[in-house]
Structure 1
Amino acid sequence: MTRPLIAPALAGAAATCSGIGLARFAYVPLFPAMVAAGWVDGAGAGLLGAINLTGYLIGALSAPRVGRALSIPRALDAGMALAALAAACCAWQGGLAWLGLWRCLAGVAGGVLMGLTGPAVQSVVAAQRRGVAGGIVLLGVGSGITLGALLVPALVGYGVPAAWLGLSATTVVLWLAARRFWPAPPVAPAAQMHGGLPPVGRLVLSYGLSGAGLVPPMVYLADFAARGHGLGVRAGGLMWVVFGIGAVSGSLAGGALADRLGGRRAMVVALSVQVVALGTALLPGVAWLVVSGLLSGVAAVGVTSVALAAARERAGAQAGVVWVRTTAAFAVAQAATGFAMAAIFGATGESHAAIFAVGLLLSVLSMAVAMVDRPTSA
């Protein structure tokens, strides 16, 4: 039975806003602030970003099991609670190990929320509105990125702990507003959940490579502006606002593009934007970095939106299973690349250009895989 589009889609948007936009991406404008405050050095801050990506992998892999054990609404409650708790605990300067633990758990929360929300919302709305519904759910990511980019610079003037506590409180407010509208899809029979799937190997590979290529802007963009270009912490926060504006645009455009072109062709278009985004970051001048930040935001959420549509397009009722696999591939690639980027960043004397160049190469590979993909491919 389908439900009206708006209520479950907006509830899903609140979940992705909290679990991804705030719990994950609000760390980006906090990166240079934490370094400036002496909480961590640049390499340590990059390591915390990689640890968060590892937590996201754990959450994405465990999402189906958590959803079956608790029900989708209760699993979403658990994810929101963990996201709020993790942010609050990061308000104490307990050292790298303490911050790493809670950044990992924030990633777990984000992985659970991302792994469950999109397919759950799509399963309770009319088939012809699923692309739009997925776009609205992912609009939460862009909105959360923008919200975090505005909140963090405003709060960090009162200290790094104030920024973390503000993120925690915002998550609680979003949770209370959304929880009565959580989607509650019927539980799929075990045979349906574990039966044969259509071939989606290239979709999974392309989406994973896309995630790897997006690590530089997702972790280092604000620091690139703040320290790489010498513009300061406030300018780094503003750069993340630009990324958030792009992410909002990408979430809306991705869903509409998938409805019009289909998931596969829309994937190629979205990945071409990602390639341009990573390439422009390597051009000299702040103006090109602004362009890169905007297009990176468009790609970061637009690619996810069209990949979600492609999973539904190919797998139908088993889209949740396919989505978990694609999300897991994205998370594995980002976690591995995150640690590699942290090592490269330290080994090159904190060279932002080096890690953005690696991101460009990975993005090109992702687009190449998408271009040769077909729904019938293995």
Structure 2
Amino acid sequence: MTPRRPSHDGLTPAWAGAGAICAGVGLARFAYVPLFPAMVGAGWVDGGGAGLLGAANFTGYLLGVLAGRGLAGRLGVPRVLDLGMGLALVAFAACALDAGLAWFTLWRGLAGVAGGFLMALAGPAVQASVAPAQRGLAGGIVMAGAGGGIILAGLLVPPLLRGGLPAAWLGLAAGVGLVWLLARPAWPDPPALPAATAAQAVPRAGRLLLAYGLSGAGMVAPMVYLADLAVRGRGLPIEAGALAWMGFGAGAVAGTLLGGRIAGRIGGRRALPWWMAAQVAALTLALSPWWPALFLAAPLGGFAGIGATAVTLAAAREVAGAQAGVVWVRATAGYAVAQAGIGFALAGLFAATGESHAAVFGAGLALSAAAFGAAWAGRRG
């Protein structure tokens, strides 16, 4: 396949990249959140399987992130994006069959691999395929796909579940297929780096990677326990938990779009402390016993925690130029490792404290404050 020259005539590749992130992250990862209680209720898995399936998805995501760039070097970016979308579609369809925990573990793991491929490649490929002046906005559009997928999952899952769990899984597979069909003609296809550029040393960007990893660690609490906090922690109806999760998704769309624009104007490293400050505010609001504060914390958490991806993507381009893809893979892998480790730690803390939401959200607040400190220290490079 001969790579096309970078496109300077619009943002079409960015919208295709948003479709990839919508399917690989917003659906393949987050659509499972509202589906899991239904699976337990139907007896497909028990409560002990929850952690295993979540860990399998996250492990697969990390593997996909680490393998995606090398695979794209051999096959080309568009083919690996196709591979990621195809894996996500097949994984959803396979989960429509109740064939036991091992079966679900395999396919949830492969769904994670799909998401890792798409997250590792879509953003850098789009930034290399649009005009320099459009890179900030393009990055925001791409990463807004995650929030868009969260909202789409919130809209699709409840009506699909009326037809039963197989219908829900197959409906999500069809959703991925439709997104793939729409996005594929505009896949970004950046030219390969010249050998001299590829051989250059890549900046370490330690403070940027630390801030982004700590941000991911701090966001584990709202990403896992937000709906539970609304229902069991604040005594609200289950619909309120779904509404809070939808608010998280809406905030994510706003945070990524605005993050891309602001980073394009003032720089990603200078913008990142503002997003980390918003994350600190979101975790603080979640700890308030006044229940309406939760409906401020949810969109603000999505704005900051997911929006930080667009800001960090722009910062990676500032730090490493044409080799931004390497820094972005390192950042995404660090984020995945941090979330996996803190996820298990918070699960243990939640159990040890008698299921205290204050404990897990307090830990998230401390990690978010550390992320703000690291971002502030690295704002000037």
Shorter-normalised TM range: over 0.9
Q: Is the 8 A contact 2:11 2:130 kept in 1?
A: no
Match of 1:60 among 61, 65, 71: 65
Match of 1:86 among 76, 86, 91: 91
- Aligned pairs (5 A) from 1:1-378: 1-3=5-7, 4-42=9-47, 44-374=49-379, 376=381
For residues 109-161 of structure 1, the C-alpha deviation after alignment (integer angstroms, 9 at most, x for no partner) is 11110100000000010001100000111121111111111111222233333
Structure 1 length as normaliser, TM-score? 0.94
Aligned AA (2:6): T
Q: Is the 8 A contact 1:49 1:338 kept in 2?
A: no
Aligned AA (1:185): P
How many residue pairs match? The answer is: 376
Structure 1 residue 43: Cα displacement: 5.2
Aligned AA (2:142): V
Q: Extract unaligned runs of 5+ from structure 2.
A: none
Structure 1 residue 68: Cα displacement: 1.0
Structure 1 residue 167: Cα displacement: 1.2
Change (3 A) 1:349 1:36: farther
**Inter-partner Cα distance in structure 1 for 2:366 and 2:219:** 11
Q: Is the 8 A contact 2:6 2:191 kept in 1?
A: no
Greater length-normalized contact order (CA 8 Å, ≥ 6 residues apart):
1
Bigger shift: residues 35-44 or 360-369? 35-44
Bigger shift: residues 161-170 or 290-299? 161-170
Structure 1 residue 320: Cα displacement: 0.7
Identity rate of aligned residues, in percent? 59
Q: Is the 8 A contact 1:43 1:345 kept in 2?
A: no
- Secondary structure in structure 1 of the residue aligned to 2:342: helix
Q: Extract unaligned runs of 5+ from structure 1.
A: none
Structure 1 residue 375: Cα displacement: 5.1
Structure 1 residue 349: Cα displacement: 3.7
Bigger shift: residues 143-152 or 99-108? 99-108
- Secondary structure in structure 2 of the residue aligned to 1:196: coil
Aligned AA (2:25): I
- Secondary structure in structure 1 of the residue aligned to 2:306: helix
